[in-house]
Structures are given as structure tokens and as C-alpha cells.
Amino acid sequence: IYILLYKEVSLALKINSLYSKKKLMNIHENVKVLRYPDHLSSGIYLWSHHEKLVIVDHKICFIGGLDLCFGRYDTVEHKIGDCPPSLWPGKDYYNPRESEPNSWEDTMKDELDREKYPRMPWHDVHCAVWGPPCTDIARHFVQRWNHAKRSKAPNEQKIPLLMPQHHHMVLPHYLGRGRDVIDIEKNISESDKIGPDDYFSTRTSNPDNDNIPLLLPHETNNGPHSCSITGNSKDSTPNTQSDSDMQKQDQKFENISANDQVTQAGPRCLCHCQVVRSVSQWSAGTSQTEDSIHRAYCALIEEAEYFIYIENQFFISGLSEEEFIQNRVLESLYKRIMRAHTEKRCFRVIIVIPLLPGFQGGVDDGGAATVRAIMHWQYRTISRGESSILQKLCSKLGPLTHDFISFFGLRTYGRLFDGGPVVTSQIYVHSKVMIVDDRCALVGSSNINDRSLLGSRDSEIAVLIQDKEFIDSSMDGNPWKAGRFAFNLRVSLWAEHLGLNAQQVAQIEDPVADTTYKGLWLDVAKLNKKIYEDVFSCIPNDTIQSRWALRQSMSHWRMKLGHTTIDLGVAPENLELYENDELIITDPMEKLKSVRGHLVSFPLDFMSQEDDLRPMFIEGEFYASPQVFH
């Protein structure tokens, strides 16, 4: 078992990967753990390894946005409380808006008072991949592992180099270039050699690396398709899998029927699958920066016929004239919308993002500069300034803009315990998925920002899935062949967000028809948003447009309720509402019964009177590189 962990900058993150490494290595001697990068030697302080991968026997891979850590487990109900603990014990009862745990060692000790604070529900998308694409995904891991090994632990005998899937073996460590290695290398044919200029080579200028063979040969004197090495290691490598076995395995995956059910992961669908990445020299040892995720986003957007559905943790991008932000997802969206307008075609872009960044601190708090900085760049992308997509489109299309593109978040409510206070929280959108025309989907770890998309910054991986099996559906009122996987993924997400049961799913079959987009999606989002604002006055809120107004609102509700959450998420015991100038006092839960699903409109006017939410010179974040936030 090989586990590659991101080694954090301890001043910036409190995830304590060293503790995780020790716990994992204590499980069994076959568990090998590497943390990377070493910040001092590599000079990498700003960027992280961000991909989330599990690969089992080169046969099945799990890939997407879901981190293997506390606070990520959730259900489609997205329950807000757990008192007494049943589903989310200890640190799993997690709300980073209120408080990030300072330590993870005492895992069963609560970080939050469950009778006062809600957990922050978590929404994510991960997928399981079977068959030949697993070879590419595993090869990516091997490349990253070997680069980390060479860079950090070239003389660590317990940390082996790994083989690509073609060989199905582990390369033992050698301190020196023994005779056995030289004898083996004589048997390598020119076609099997992989030199330092190979795409997957991770050799550096470190002369010590010359003592570590990159790959074992395909054949040795021990017979075809097997390899045994002694050298300075007492253990020999396992036998390789024969080519005929691999061909049989590949054929088996080709013959998978769409009717095969895997109840834990959903139905399998035959698809074209392309692995795309963001990697560079520091993260994977490549000689060139790879930004194929960025290029996949832009290409899919440009080729979309009817609609684009995006869920992402961030939405920070730039138009062609943008100087600070380099990724061009926004420019691709703008051009595609303008083309649809010119052609007088129905075209929708629906984007779901977090209502607030998932970092500690109230929007007006002194220690929340990171929260405000991310808000600044996101609003700058969405609606504020000439470089925002809504302002640019409005200058060309006027009110028609909102027929083409709209932004949303997710929210839920409940009681913290039986008879306890009624509270609300955003459902944190952590997914990184784009669905186009119900025929293809991009699922992975990459956020829509420069950190994830440029390739030279955070390392990322995703899969571009294009359906090979199609079902009868409709698009803009006309018959349409929808991809089985993309359609089912989109419908399952929408049904959850809109609160639809199995009998109501037919209402969202056509994603762009007015009856779906305007009569259902927009109406539900607007109604839910209004109910939450009436009951909680929670933020973000379009009526609160400045930090001064936020201070006034926080002061009012703290005085009235005695206690509230950092985002004004506690309802009064008795709700006072005016209807036809008459005061009506009611139970807040009665009002909340009208909420459908979790979808809410994104508050575009929140903090709109604040010209610049970036860190000020009196805040420590002011002295960090602005690239950290976008």
C-alpha cells in the first residue's frame, strides 16, 4: 500500500500530515508513506498536491473532489445537527466557518459545541472508474511517487520506486549500481528503454539519482514476463502479469454491460475516458508544464450545443483582457454565450458554488482576510467590474443575460437536537464537475482558479468522460440522445438540489426548457432564498451590502437571540412576519416547511458597496503573494 500525502506548510495549514504518516505506517510494514514536497529544499511554499485518488490493483480507481479526511462524510439529506453523536463523532462534526481544529490527535473529542453550532454539510462528487483508464491514472501516481522518492528520499531503502502498470511490479531500492543491475540493463531492448527525456521520466540533475534505475526491463534471463532481482535488497519483486492476461482483462472491461449493477457505486456505463492533469516539474518532475484540465474545460465549453452545468468550490477566472487571472474558462463561457445569442439559440449556463468560502472567520472579523480575499476575486469574476462576466454580458445583452447564465448555492436547515434551536448553514459545495449537453462530464479535483488550472501551481487530476451509450431524452423541447452516465449524474444532482422524488424526476429531463429552467430551477432557488432570509436574516444576503451593515445586523441578532452563529444562522423562537401590514407570530419551522430541496440563488449584491475586499496592509495576508488566493 503506497500513500502519498501533501506535506503542508505548518504555519498555513494545521492538518498535521506527520501525525497521519505515523499512524498509517504503524498499521503494517507494507504501508509505505511519503510526504511531499520538502519546502526548504524544493522552494515550494505556495502550491499543494490537491488531487484525491485511490487506485486498487490497477483495476478500479476512485477520482474526484472528495478528500480522505474528517468532515467529508455526508448523505443526500445533509443533516445539520448530530446531538448526541451518531453519524459524525468527534472531529467529524466539522464546521470550518466557526472553528478549524487545532489538532487532530484526539479524534473523538468534539471541536464544536453541538448544542450551539451546526455542522457544515458537505456536497461532493467522486466517481469510480474501471478498466483501461486505470492504467493511466495509476501511471500518474507512479510518476508522482517516483519523483517524490528521488527528490526527497533517494537513499531511503524502505521507500521503493514503483513500476508503471505494464510491468506490475515494484522496483526495490539500491544504494549502489550493483552488477545485477548492470547485467539486467544489458538485456533491455532499445524499444523498452525509458530514458531521462521520456515523458514520464522524473530524473533531476541530482547525481545521486543516477544510482537508482528508472525501470526494470520487460524481459530478463529468468524468462518472459517475470523479473527477479537481488542486489542490495533481500526481497525480490513479484512476477509481472503476462501480456495475454492483460489483454483478457482489457477485453473483460470492454464487455461490461450497462445493466451490470454495483450497488455501492451505481450502474456501470461504457464511456470514452480521457485522463487530464495539472502537473509540472515541481509536482511530477515533468520537463513541460501540463494544463490539460484547463484545455479540456475550454474545449468542452466551446463545443457545447445547449447547456453547461458546473459545480465547483471556486469560480475565479478571467476574460481575455484580464491581467491578474490567467485561466480563460470565463472567456470561453463569454464567447459561447455570445455565439448562442447571435445564432438566436437557447443556451444555458448554470453554476453552483459555495455561498461563502469555507474558511474560518466571520466576513467582518479581523482574522478573516482570506475569506474576504476569495470573495473579492469571485465577485470580480461573476458580477463586479468590467471584467466580470455578468457586467460584460449585460453591456451587450441587457436583461437577456440572465436567460443564458445564472449562479446558485446550496443551503439547509434543521434543529440541533430535539427541542433545540432551529439553525441553518450553507451546504459547502466542494465538487469539481462540469456536465455538457448530458453527453459528457469532467470530474476531478481541479477548482476553477489559477491555482488548479495553470499546471505550474497545484497538482490536479480529472477524467473527461464521454458516453458511448445513449438514452432517449429531450433538449429544448426536441428529442435528444443523452449519454447514460452524464444524464444520470446530472439528474441525480438536480433531484437532490430541488428536493424531487423518483416520480418527479421527469420534470428535469429537459435541462434547458423554460418549464425546467424558469418554471422549476429558478423559481425554487428564488423561493428558498427568500424563506431563509425571512426566517434567519442569514448571510450572505442581498440586503447587507457593506461591512458596516453587517456589523449592525450581527449586533441586532446577538442582542435579540443571545447567541447566533458566525453567519447569522439561528432562528428566533417565534418568527415575527408582516402580512398586509398585520403582525403575525409563527413557529419558524412552519415557514421553513415551504423550502424545497437545497437550492438558493447566489446573492450577487452581498457586500456590493465594498470596493475592495482584498487584505489591507495591517493584515498578515497582505504580505502574501496574491496568487495564493486565486
Active site residues: 50, 52, 57, 430, 432, 437
CB atoms near residue 19 (< 10 Å) = 12
Q: Residue 37: is the preceding peptide bond cis (ω within 30°)?
A: yes
Considering Cα of 189, then 192, then 193, then 197, what sign does the dihedral take?
Answer: positive
What are the DSSP calls for 11-75, one per residue? TT----HHHHHHHHHTT-TT-EEEEE--HHHH---S--B---EEEETTTEEEEES--SSTT----
Q: 361: which 3 cell numbers? A: 472567520
118, 86, 76, 425: CA torsion to nearest 10: 0
The helix (run of H) or strand (run of E) holding residue 428 is: strand 428-429
Compute the radius of gyration of the chain from its Cα atoms: 26
Amino acid at residue number 378: Q
**518 neighbors 526 (Cβ within 8 angstroms):** no
DSSP 519: I
Burial of 207 (0-12, 13-18, 19+ CB in 10 A): exposed
CA atoms lying within 13 Å on the CB side of residue 281: 9
**123 neighbors 427 (Cβ within 8 angstroms):** yes
Cα–Cα distance between 181 and 169 in angstroms, integer?
16
**Which residue do the cell numbers 444576503 mark?**
541
Between the CA of residue 243 and those of 217, 223, 373, what are the distances in Å?
Answer: 14, 14, 53
Between the CA of residue 93 and those of 114, 427, 553, what are the distances in Å?
Answer: 8, 14, 27
Cα–Cα distance between 493 and 123 in angstroms, integer?
10
**290 neighbors 329 (Cβ within 8 angstroms):** no
**52 neighbors 102 (Cβ within 8 angstroms):** no
Whose CA is closest to 468, among 448, 483, 481, 455?
Answer: 483
Cα–Cα distance between 159 and 140 in angstroms, integer?
18
Strand pairing class (428-429; 122-123): parallel
CB burial readout 278-289, b (16+ within 10 A) else e:
bbbebbbbbeeb
Angle between helices 389-397 and 369-382 (to 10 degrees): 20
What are the DSSP calls for 80-106, one per residue? ---SS-SSS-GGGS-BTTTB--S--SS
